[in-house]
Structure 1
Amino acid sequence: MQPDFFARKRMNSLLFCGLLLALTVIAVLITNYNVIKGFTSIPKAAEWAFNNFYPDEKALKRLPVIISSLTETVLVSIAATTVAALFALMFAIAGSHTTGTGGVLGFVSRSIATVFRNIDVAAWSMILLISFGQNVLTGYFALFFGSFGFLTRAFTESIDEVSSSSVEALKSTGAGYFSIICQSVIPSCIPQLISWILFMMETNIRQATLIGILTGTGIGFLFSLYYKSLNYSAASLIVIVLVLAIFSIEAISNYLRKVIL
């Protein structure tokens, strides 16, 4: 049995690799992509970046404007995440098998979360651009909808992992529905909920940069503006500031996890 099992596993792996290779070749042929030229152009691209893509004295004078745009991006991301977390918690409680009332309400809650989760933030931005145009509100709602769908799913799974024994114990004492949620369910899964919120906050700050290019706001729009105007020095400064900000935010998030969790 063992040799047959490993033989089938190797055969499945070979079939998968062969299928992947075939799809790659088909994609290259359809798109007329020059593989050799693509790889040989990497050194030239690195040389160009080394010679042109670096901040100079003139770019450093734009640092206050860059910091201001970065601050706007970070604040919008935090606001979208925190508000989405509140709505996600309500929908997660309604859709969870542990705390949900079941029936139509639970089905509707899970269905809404599934729809919002499966639409990418960039897609939300393009959809909302039609209604709200290029402004901060469009980026905020795009991040809010994406965060809401993801956090609802994450919160639902965290609540479902809560031991049902404590819930049953409170029910046997005659505790009400909201008392069970506030005294048993949420305290038991609060570390996981906070961890998911911090993770979503980090993700949104990264995504907000790309969203800003579409919505014409924040640090993403500023980078697009400088890059399209061939001001590569200022654009490179934005990249450096953004990388430092992401590392700083991740360090703060990890510290909060250690302190709170």
Structure 2
Amino acid sequence: MQDKFFAKKRLNSILITSLLLLITYGAITVTEYDVVKGFASIPEAIEWGFNNFYPDEKSLEKLPKIWEKLQETLLISFAASTVAGMFALVFAILGSNTTRVNSFIGTLARGIATLFRNIDVAAWAMILLFSFGQSSLTGYFALFFVSFGFLTRAFMETIDEVSNSSVEALTATGASYLSIIIHSVIPASIPQMISWLLFTIETSIRSATLVGILTGTGIGFSFNLYYKSLNYNAASLVVLMIVISIFTIEYISNYIRRVIL
């Protein structure tokens, strides 16, 4: 019986691998991509990067402007993620199997979260461009919607995982719904929720660069401007600042996680 089970798993793995290889071959054929030429160009690309894509003395003069745009991007990312976290907490409580008011509201909250979560941030940016144009508000809402969808789902799972037994105990004692939320659900879930929020902030900062290119704002706009004007030295300085900020935020986030978890 066990041999048949493993044989079936091996067969499924072979079929899936074959399907993926077939899809890959089809994509290469349709796009007329030269695999050999692509791999052969890697050393040349690396050489070009070392020769052209690095900050020089002239590009450092643009550092104050780049820092200003980076601050704008970081603040938008923080604001979008934290405000989304507040809304997500409400929807997570309404949608969680442990704390939902009724099945209809629970399904509705889950449906809204799924809708916002499954639309990519770039798609949201392009959709919102029609309403708000190229502005910081467009980038803010694009990051907000994606963060809201993701955090709502993450908070729901957190509530279901850590609060089920305590909610049942308080319900048995006749505690009110609001008391259960305030004295049980939120205290038990808040450390994990903060961890998810920090992760979302990191993700938003990464996504904000792409959103900035689409919306013409923030650090993404600076990179796009310098790159299209062939000012590769300044563009490389933008990339370097983004990388430093991402690693810094990640270090701070990991430190906070170690403290609270």
Normalization by structure 1: what TM-score? 0.97
Mark the runs of 5 or more structure 1 residues left unpaired by the alignment: none
In the TM superposition, structure 1's runs of 4+ consecutive aligned residues that sit over 4 Å from their partners are none
The equivalences for 1:77-226 within 5 A come to: 77-226=77-226
CA shift, 1:43, in A, is 1.1
Which deviations, in whole Å up to 9, do the C-alpha atoms of 1:19-70 show, x marking residues without a partner?
A: 1111111111111111111111111111111111111100011111111111
Which residue type is aligned with residue 237 of structure 2?
Answer: L
Identity over aligned pairs, percent: 67
* Counterparts of 1:105 and 1:124, CA distance in 2: 25
**Residue 18 and residue 171 in structure 1: after superposition, are their counterparts in 2 closer, same or farther (change >3 A)?**
closer
* Counterparts of 1:4 and 1:147, CA distance in 2: 44
Which residue type is aligned with residue 209 of structure 1?
Answer: T
CA shift, 1:107, in A, is 1.8
Which residue type is aligned with residue 114 of structure 1?
Answer: T
Which residue type is aligned with residue 233 of structure 2?
Answer: S
Normalization by structure 2: what TM-score? 0.97
Which residue is equivalent to 1:48?
A: 48
* Counterparts of 1:57 and 1:4, CA distance in 2: 67
Counterpart contact for 2:163–2:184, Cα < 8 Å: no
CA shift, 1:209, in A, is 0.6
CA shift, 1:163, in A, is 4.1
* Counterparts of 1:201 and 1:163, CA distance in 2: 25
Which residue is equivalent to 1:12?
A: 12
Which residue type is aligned with residue 116 of structure 1?
Answer: F
User: SS of the counterpart of 1:62?
Assistant: helix
Mark the runs of 5 or more structure 2 residues left unpaired by the alignment: none
The equivalences for 1:62-77 within 5 A come to: 62-77=62-77
Which residue is equivalent to 1:36?
A: 36
Number of aligned positions between the proteins: 261
User: SS of the counterpart of 2:119?
Assistant: coil
* Counterparts of 1:10 and 1:173, CA distance in 2: 52
Which residue is equivalent to 1:240?
A: 240
**Residue 54 and residue 178 in structure 1: after superposition, are their counterparts in 2 closer, same or farther (change >3 A)?**
same
Which deviates the most, 169-178 or 29-38?
Answer: 169-178
User: SS of the counterpart of 2:58?
Assistant: helix
